[in-house]
Chains A and B, each alone.
Chain A
Amino acid sequence: MQITTTKGLMDESLLEKKSGSLDNENEFTTWVEYWLDGELVHRSVHVHLKQNVVAEGIQAMLA
Chain B
Amino acid sequence: MANTQAMCTSFKGQLLTATHNFGTAPIRAATTADTFKAALFLASATLNASTTAYSATGEVSGTGYTAGGITVTNGTAPTTSGTTAYWTPSASLVYTSVTLTTAFDTVLIYNSTQSNAAVGVFTFGSQTVTAGTFTLTMPSNAAGTALLNLA
| A47, B135: Cβ atoms closer than 8 Å | yes
Q: Which of A44, A52, A58 meets B129, CB within 8 Å? A: A44
Q: Tell me the complex Cα distance, A59–B99, Å.
A: 37
- A32 surroundings in chain B (CB, below 8 A): 132
Q: Tell me the complex Cα distance, A37–B123, Å.
A: 33
Q: Is B148 an interface residue (CB 8 A)?
A: yes
| A48, B137: Cβ atoms closer than 8 Å | yes
| A6, B99: Cβ atoms closer than 8 Å | yes
- B148 surroundings in chain A (CB, below 8 A): 52, 54, 58
- A58 surroundings in chain B (CB, below 8 A): 148-151
Q: Is B77 an interface residue (CB 8 A)?
A: no
Q: Which residue of B lies closest to A52 (CB)?
A: B149
- B145 surroundings in chain A (CB, below 8 A): 50-52
Q: Is the interface of A mostly helix, strand, loop or mixed?
A: strand
- One digit per residue, 1 when the CB lies within 8 angstroms of any chain B CB and 0 when it does not, for chain A 26-38 equals 1101011100000
Nearest-neighbour CB distance to chain A for B11, whole angstroms, equals 10
| B131, A49: Cβ atoms closer than 8 Å | no
Residues 101-151 (chain B) with a chain A CB within 8 angstroms: 120-125, 127-139, 144-151
For B128, B137, B145, the residue with the greatest tally of chain A CB atoms inside 10 Å of its CB is B137
Q: Which of A6, A33, A52, A57 meets B139, CB within 8 Å? A: A52
A-B contacts, 12 listed (Cβ < 8 Å): A29-B124, A40-B130, A41-B131, A43-B131, A45-B127, A49-B122, A49-B139, A53-B123, A54-B121, A54-B148, A58-B148, A59-B150
A-B pairs with lowest CB-CB distance, top 9: A44-B132, A55-B149, A43-B130, A48-B137, A46-B135, A59-B151, A44-B133, A49-B139, A45-B127
- Which residue numbers of A lie inside 8 Å of B, CB to CB? 4-6, 22, 26-27, 29, 31-33, 40-55, 57-59, 62
